[in-house]
Structure 1
Amino acid sequence: MAGYLIGLVLHPTRDVSEVVEIIERWAARHGKSLAVRVDDQHRVPPTVEPVPAEELAARCDALISIGGDGTMLGALRSAVRHPKPVLGVHLGRLGFLVEVEPPDLPRALARLVARDFTVESHACLACDICGDDMVAFNDVALVRQPGSGFVTATLAVDGQQYGYYRCDALVVSTPTGSTAYSYAAGGPLISPATDAVVVTPSAPMSGISRSVVLSPDETIRLELRAESAPVAVEIDGMVIQEAATEGAVHVRYQRDAGLVVRLDPRRYQERNKLKLGLLDLPLLPEQLRELLPAGLREQLNRRELLPPR
């Protein structure tokens, strides 16, 4: 396919050079072009075209996220106005969105360009945060600052008041995000095949004390009460506001906002079931590693022994 342009979205701090070199060599052999955000051009070979961040998704045929789930979420957010297939290459730790390991990249790239893959559609939360428009593919959270009291906010659904929260944090999540902050706060796991929004309080002191599961067609408004402590507002784990003391967050569910590439959906689902099981084990990461098959454990050990590049 002539003229195929692949955009690279890089983990902000980890060394991605090995993976980028695999992709660059493959693209050179197959006559495909690569692009990257201008801010990351110093991290890639000169053959990769620098593009303004706001134009990357619009100009590319597909995106490759190199990192973990956080990098993948950033790639999806960058493409929300121009949804393009996003392939996740794994560099992070325990992840639920990324699928491909670096050694499998050449075959995955061939299938990406040939469009030999399944698209997993993801919804997002379109958020108005005190007048600023944002999108979240996992969650939006109101989080108390340590030592400063509690998040105190009212909940309204489609304009109808339903009660209030007094808690450490208040998390609104998509089905994808139900395995993240919401899950850690005691919220339910929601199938990614379901359209729903979950509102979960973390460590509730009074008011609504359980998760609320809402229809995707309902609009949500969370408004800070006068007695609320200053709160941080997070989008997919990134701090958007550090000490909000007033204002409201409006949340609307938006279907088909992100397109995730799946090369082997059944194997991916089986892996994620295992990951969820591991999350429930009270073990440290190094203890979890001992549960892995010997071959995979040795592969991870070799990768970490490689000198930094």
Structure 2
Amino acid sequence: MRSKAELEAAIRDGGRAVLVVNARSRRGRRLYGAARRLLREAGLEFVRVLPVTDPSRLRELFAEVLDLEPDLVVVGGGDGTVAEAVGHLAHRDIALGVLPLGTTNNFARSLEMPLDLPGAVRTLAVAGPDGGKVADVDVGWFESTGDRRGPEDREHIFANMISLGLSVEVARSVPHTLKRFLGRPAYALTAARLLPRHSAFTARITIDGETRELTTHQLNVANGAHHSGQRIARDASPDDRLLAVYRLGDERRLRLASATARHVLTGPWRSLEEDAFLTTAHVEIETDPPLRVDVDGEIRGRTPVTIRLRGNALRVIVPRSFNDT
């Protein structure tokens, strides 16, 4: 593995780069042409450009990308596309560059990337005057019950978030057309429709041999700093060597609504040191009843689930202001 400085120098000096754009993401189809033009104008050249119209082929496509032995892989799309890339690029001598073209762009927000296309391109052009840098950030690893993916270790890596509860049902139920036209508000509208019929669950959370039991409608385990496009805490980061475990509300449905509103309004000022959060590098979760496990927007088996942190496992392009530890 090259050092971060060596990999950054290779990219700056015209190293091999590949561009993957999910042309079916919320903004990918509309902005694909503009992205190509801005990248070209910024001096970024690619040995291969891969527009993706069938997201089910992403896993197969990234195997093709790795065969090209790139120094940099730029991925344009939403969190699902980025999560697939993270699984393939973690623990490799390759940097990931993110063009935020999705609905919530949680991972891009956690990397402090500009969400506007010109700003993101300027950051990715590390040789330019406003270019970013190569940093290494954490990823998560999980093992759930009944996950249909194979046993290969990297297939269990995740980028941003594992969720249990109402948000899983929302993700499965939100109409694609509504999401495309409304963006993030589509999730809130779908949650409001599903909440009156949603049942609370009991979760047993084991950290360092100590088990805590709680009842809630929503439980999250975050590697990144954002959920649903909102910051979860002012000191949360994908580079802090911590998983943040937190629930939204208790068994009362109205508490979930109020806790979600508080999360949205106070996230930038809350701290991971508050009682609302449990922070750890390893957590085991059982639920009654067993629940579907949402991993970066994809259903990956059921509880029980084991979640671990893998520190500094992913090389990424970030703004120069990003605090790389």
TM-score (normalised: structure 2): 0.59
Question: What residue in structure 1 maps to residue 32 of structure 2?
Answer: 17
Residue 75 (structure 1) aligned with residue 124 (structure 2): no
Q: 1:199 to 1:119 in 2, by over 3 A?
A: same
Structure 1 residues not aligned, in runs of 5+: 43-50, 270-309
Give distance in 1, aligned partners of 2:213 and 2:300.
23
Structure 1 consecutive aligned stretches of length 4 or more whose deviation exceeds 6 Å: none
Q: Residue in 2 aligned with 1:122?
A: 137
Counterpart position of 1:213: 278
- Give the whole-Å Cα distance in 1 for the aligned partners of 2:104 and 2:146: 34
Structure-1 residue corresponding to 2:47: 33
Q: What residue is the counterpart of 2:313 in the other structure?
A: 257
The CA RMSD measured in Å over matched residues stands at 4.0
In structure 1, distance between residues paired with 2:291 and 2:146: 16
What do the CA deviations read for 1:34-67 (whole angstroms, capped 9, x no partner)?
2437x5499xxxxxxxx73234246322111223
1:229-240 mapped onto 2 (5 Å cutoff): 231-240=291-300
Query: Counterpart in 2 of 1:4?
Result: 16
- Provide the rounded CA distance (Å) in 2 between the counterparts of 1:157 and 1:30: 45
The aligned runs of 1:108-147 (5 Å cut-off) are 110-111=125-126, 117-130=132-145, 132=147, 134-144=156-166, 145=169, 146=194, 147=197
Deviations 1:1-32 (A, max 9, x none): 576232324253331431453268569x8874
Q: Is the 8 A contact 2:203 2:285 kept in 1?
A: yes
* 1:149 aligned residue (180, 199, 204): 199
- What count of residue pairs does the alignment treat as equivalent? 241
**Aligned-pair CA distance for 1:251:** 0.6
2:99 to 85, 89, 94: 89
Give the number of the structure whose alpha-carbon radius of gyration is greater: 1
3-state SS in 2 of match to 1:82: coil
Q: Kindly tell me: are residues 189 and 112 of structure 1, through their superposed partners in 2, closer, same or farther at Cα, counting changes over 3 Å?
A: same
CA–CA separation in structure 2 for the residues paired with 1:214 and 1:30 = 39
Name the CA distance, whole Å, in 1 between partners of 2:307 and 2:283. Answer: 5
Shift of 1:222: 0.3
Give the structure, 1 or 2, with the largest relative contact order (CA under 8 Å, sep 6 or more). 2
Task: Please name the residue that 1:162 is paired with.
Answer: 211
Q: Deviation string for 1:145-183 (max 9, x for gaps)?
A: 55252222211124x242212111111112x23x31596
Matched, 1:222 2:285: yes
Q: Tell me if structure 1 keeps the 8 A contact 2:138–2:240.
A: no
- SS of 1:52 mapped into structure 2: helix
- The answer to whether the 8 A contact 1:11-1:71 is kept is no
* Corresponding residue number in structure 1 for 2:183: none
What residue identity is the alignment partner of 1:64? V
Deviation by residue 1:235-274 (Cα, 9 ceiling, x = unmatched): 1233334xx4xx41001110112222124427x99xxxxx
Percent identity of equivalent pairs: 16
- In the superposition, the TM-score normalised over structure 1's length comes to 0.62
Structure 2 SS opposite 1:224: strand
- 1:41–1:22 Cα change, 3 Å: farther
1:99 match: secondary structure: coil
Measured against aligned partners, the alpha-carbon deviations of 1:80-110 in whole angstroms (never above 9, x if no partner) come to: 2425222222444665143374446776565
